[in-house]
Amino acid sequence: MARPDAASLLSPSPPPFKPRRRGRLLPSILAVLAAAVALFLLAVLRSPPTPSPNLGSLFLSLGSNNTAASHLRALTLHPHVAGTKANSLTAAYVLHAFSSLSIPSHITPYSVLLSYPVHRSLSLSAGPGRATKSFSLTQDTYPNDPYARAAAEVTPTFFAYSASGSVSAEAVYANYGREEDFAYLASRGVDVAGKVALARYGRIHCEDIVHNARAAGAAAALVYPDPLEYGGPAGEGSFPDSRWLPPSGVQVGSLFRGVGDPTTPMWASSEGCERVSVEDAMATDDMPGIPALPVSARDAAEIQRVLGGAEAPADWQGRDGSPAYRLGPGPAVLNLTYQGNDTMATIENVFAVIEGAEEPDRYVILGNHRDAWTFGAADPNSGTAAMIELAQRFSMLQKQGWRPRRTIIFCSWDAEEYGLTGSTEWVEENREMLSSRAVAYLNIDVSVVGPVLLPSTTPQLDELLLETIKLVQDPDNSSQTVYDSWVKSSASPKIQRLGNGGSDYAAFVQHVGIPSTNLIFGEGYPVYHSLYDDFVWVEKFADPGFRRHVAAASIWGIMALRLADEEIIPFDYMSYTTELEAYTKVVEKETEGTAVSCSPLYNSIRALKKAATKVNSERKDIERALSSKQLSKDSTKIRGLNDRLMQAERAFTNREGIFKQAWYKHLIYGPSEQNDWDTASYPGIADAIATARSSNTSASWKLVQHEVHRVARAVAQASAVLSGSLT
């Protein structure tokens, strides 16, 4: 059964189209990186003009697509997987870029468990009398590839944290690797036990595919990017001639279903801390437990050509013109070997801090991760380039005499690709400080993969986001704003929510309860996590003029400026109440005919609406008093209101967390248990309903009622915080 979700209001997160080798780096890389920074400084840091009365307009006028392009080129000269020398050099580059702007900067390292390949092999035996096919497991460079030499440094294709081992078994085709796909195979009498499951990307991520394969009894798994989703229309070609993934392209990733350092679950990986052993960390249910490999569409087609068994149903088939997919098992026999090195390694988070003038103990935090499986031009360094370009603009504003009211912190996270590791460790280490001081977290993972903004927020930031994108010019049409293009892009444009574990906002929203956003231009990109995510792809297909990078930085920066500078934090909780009502109606429908009552939820939502109305009225009164000089900007009345606005989101969290996912504390939005990349509304209630529908016992429906009460209590706490009154 699907989780309760207000599908009419919110779009589900789109399927992500988002690899390590200790190759020799060019010895001149630091000089190249330093030169790039020096060039943009000479070009743009001219003598400051007279201070502008309109800070936002001045900020928008300072955007530089040349700066974004030069940083992206420098950051993507070499592949830079977390824990490698190459990635340490990117940390040095970002640190130097911030420091060159006279923004105090530093690096915070952590020792964490990472995973690298040692040996991989895969061969196909098609039956008696037929030759064995050995797969090269390599991605081909393309004609005139400027990064062909650097491609030799790319880590061989692998899945991080895959179990080591050798398997020889028949293949079974498992469609997208979802629970329902394995259930369908069972209903058709296709035995997965002891077999090698072949599944394709497109609906859930690799860690959930392999987890489901293991649960179905598979001995190993292969995952490939099917041309249906990643190859484009038949005959259109592939990169570098089009944006589509070449046939040899492989999407790598991590199979860890948890977050952060696996040796420090629920606590920070700080120096001298308690740790579980590597062996114990690798033995948890969050790890895949079976050998698995990512493979190309070309290799998967070889396997599918010799699969027997019944023909797969229509919605399991490939794109038009492809040979029919069959279920198996066999007669194809796969021989798979994987040997990994799961080892402690050092990662480096880079920070730059612009200290606030009036409220230095209130933090507006901007983050992007820096590590990449290969060159990482779109994921994540389009975001890194936008962040440095944004920092340059803030530096220029400082030269005009600007200083933010509240502290602004830039964060360049490491090891995000392994399990949101860098950001998670930092948030866990600073949890109490962040809980009491963080105003908001603004994340960009991938800033640009195409046209049209796809925003995600926690609801109290909706209005700020909409007001901001009405100010920023559409990078593809100067006659309209980003808001205009966003509205025209869909009959019902959506702001998505941040309940999933897709990027570094997870620790801020899900673990601490900090209002957050995530921004990206474009939806999905076929070269995600492959060799072909390079500067050429971004320059040619994602953002030919680098104007979208500048627009992303502009939206990011305007939101940060308003959150950091306005006397009253620009949060509005009214949209929260509207959505909670919609989610509750869905729960009511799902529990119709049972003893479950949603009255506690409706009562708490009414209280939240009343508190949100009161806060908005208070805001207007204070704004009038400020404009008439009847109230000082440093009044404790303003500070008190801001604290309530800031802390209300924390109240939606619960220290016990979501059932079976205790690290995730947020009771309104959480990751789907079946797909870490999907957002579930009322995740605890959704899990309880799914269990009750399966067992249909009075005890299971009582658990649903308990979860309803848990959420109702959280909403009531949020309303109490907003109203600022004790019972």
For residue 270, give the 3-state DSSP assignment: coil
- 43 vs 46, 55, 63, 66, 402, CA distance in Å? 7, 22, 13, 10, 21
- Give the bridge partners for 363, in sequence order: 407, 438
In whole angstroms, what is the distance from residue 66 CA to residue 74 CA?
12
Given a contact cutoff of 8 angstroms between Cβ atoms, the answer to whether 682 and 626 are in contact is no
Compute how many other C-beta atoms are within 10 angstroms of the C-beta atom of residue 80.
29
Angle of CA points 587, 590, 594, to nearest 5°: 105
Helices marked H in 566-682 — which ranges? 574-590, 599-627, 636-647
Tokens of 309: 């068994």
What phi, psi does 525 have (nearest 5°)? Answer: -155, 130
Given a contact cutoff of 8 angstroms between Cβ atoms, the answer to whether 661 and 670 are in contact is yes
Tokens of 241: 């001639």
In whole angstroms, what is the distance from residue 39 CA to residue 670 CA?
44
Tokens of 565: 């500078």
Residue-level length of the chain: 727
* CB burial string 380-397: b at 16+ within 10 A, e below: bbbbbbbbbbbbbbbbbb
Kindly report the three-state secondary structure assignment for every residue of 464-483.
HHHHHHCCCECCCCCCCEHH
Whole-angstrom Cα Rg for the chain? 26
C-alpha 363: how far from its chain's center?
21
Tokens of 580: 């909670």
Tokens of 402: 């600007």
Per annotation, catalytic residue among 153, 207, 229, 416: 416
- Give the bridge partners for 710, in sequence order: none
Report which secondary-structure segment, H or E, holds 197. strand 196-200
In whole angstroms, what is the distance from residue 695 CA to residue 704 CA?
12
416 classed as catalytic: yes
For residue 669, give the 3-state DSSP assignment: strand
Helix, strand and coil percent figures for the chain, each rounded to 5: 40, 15, 45
Given a contact cutoff of 8 angstroms between Cβ atoms, the answer to whether 537 and 147 are in contact is no
In whole angstroms, what is the distance from residue 486 CA to residue 187 CA?
43
Tokens of 87: 């990635």
223, burial (CB in 10 Å: exposed 0-12, middle 13-18, buried 19+)? buried
In whole angstroms, what is the distance from residue 686 CA to residue 93 CA?
45
- Give the bridge partners for 330, in sequence order: none
Angle of CA points 180, 203, 688, to nearest 5°: 55
Tokens of 652: 């939606």
Residues belonging to the active site: 416
